[in-house]
Amino acid sequence: MNRLLLDEMVFRSEDVPAADRFDYWTELLGRTHAPMELRSDHVDDFRASQRVLGLGAVTVWAATFQPLVFRRTPKLIRQSDPETYHLSLVVRGSGAGVWRHRETAYKPCDVFINSSSLPNDVYSTGDPVQTVALEVPKALLPLPRDMAGRIVGARVSARDGMGALLAQFLTRLIADPAAYQPSDRPRLATVVTPLVAALFAHLLEADDCLPPETHQRALTLRIQAFIREHLHDPRLTPATIAAAHHISTSYLHRLFREEDATVAAWIRRLRLEAARRDLTDPALHATPIHAIATRWGFPRATDFSRAYRAAYGTTPKDHRHQALQRHE
């Protein structure tokens, strides 16, 4: 195992003797993703490799492996569930996923959606199989269980639309991780999470048979992705958000009643989190605090300091000083 830039880890089955490779790979996947039962016709000399990029709570990786069957059983889920959504771009090979509610075949240029919380069997064929994959905590993409079932197993084309946007991001990131610094990790996570949210919203809205509450949840996800993408814009307000989505401001506020925060409070929290990341980034140590505050929608220094202290219990200046001292 080697560790490189961007908190990148590289695993190869060839790092251990041939007789141990399949068990090594099974244990590795259990530690880096979730415990699984694996089956393969190549257990005597299993060949696989994987590069894992840690982006904070979000994980991206590229894998090449011989044909496998991945199984998540109810027992394994009870033992350990990281509660993540798993999205795989199929580069080479084919296969199928089987859940209680759905069976889906996949081929190259498909994006395959799974969940660590649902029992499933995933069959991969091809020699080798190649994927670029992404794991996102469910807490970042809250969906009720019945809606999650509508997302999981959906096959999305990576040739156009939302699937193509996500696939382009993943393939470019995995192709050249050396272009990024460790301090870029949270920024990359804030780019990819709205892409996944927008993809989920697209899938939910595409089903005309869904009940109204499902369409409402899809709209909320799309609005949240829009907010994340426009945090820099000083004109981002409930009124402009509502106008961009062709709804009334009052309806927008109703959508956010279940988010434990008003629309304005949700925007303020995301902006404070972004400002906090920049303040504690050693690469930005020379950037004035007021410039960072303005960049994230706080043009008045007193307003920024007051909001920051309320959120984090300290001033922006003291927080930056303490964080930078830890990096020295």
234: which 2 tokens? 């000083």
Percent of the chain with pLDDT over 70: 92
Query: Across all residues in the chain, what is the average pLDDT?
Result: 86
The residue among 265 and 3 whose pLDDT is bigger is 265
CA distances (Å), origin 230, targets 166, 191, 234, 244 = 18, 11, 9, 12
Give the pLDDT confidence of 1-17 residue by residue, as tens digits.
Answer: 444 445 678 889 999 99
Give the pLDDT confidence of 82-115 residue by residue, as tens digits.
Answer: 999 999 999 999 889 999 888 888 999 999 999 9
- Residues constituting the chain: 328
pLDDT of residue 162: 87
pLDDT of residue 127: 77
3-class DSSP assignment, residue 324: helix
Question: For 257-284, what is the mean pLDDT?
Answer: 86
Q: CB–CB of 75/119 below 8 Å?
A: no
Give the pLDDT confidence of 154-179 residue by residue, as tens digits.
Answer: 889 999 888 998 999 999 888 888 77
The DSSP element (H or E) to which 3 belongs, if any, is: strand 2-4
pLDDT of residue 225: 76
Question: For 33-47, what is the mean pLDDT?
Answer: 90
At residue 48, does pLDDT exceed 90?
yes
Give the pLDDT confidence of 192-240 residue by residue, as tens digits.
Answer: 888 888 888 888 876 554 456 656 776 787 788 788 878 888 889 999 9
32: which 2 tokens? 């880096």
Report the distance separating Cα 266 and Cα 241, nearest Å: 13
Query: Which residue type, as a one-letter code, is found at position 170?
Result: L
Question: For 269-273, what is the mean pLDDT?
Answer: 89
pLDDT of residue 115: 93
pLDDT of residue 4: 43
Question: For 268-285, what is the mean pLDDT?
Answer: 87
Question: For 289-310, what is the mean pLDDT?
Answer: 91
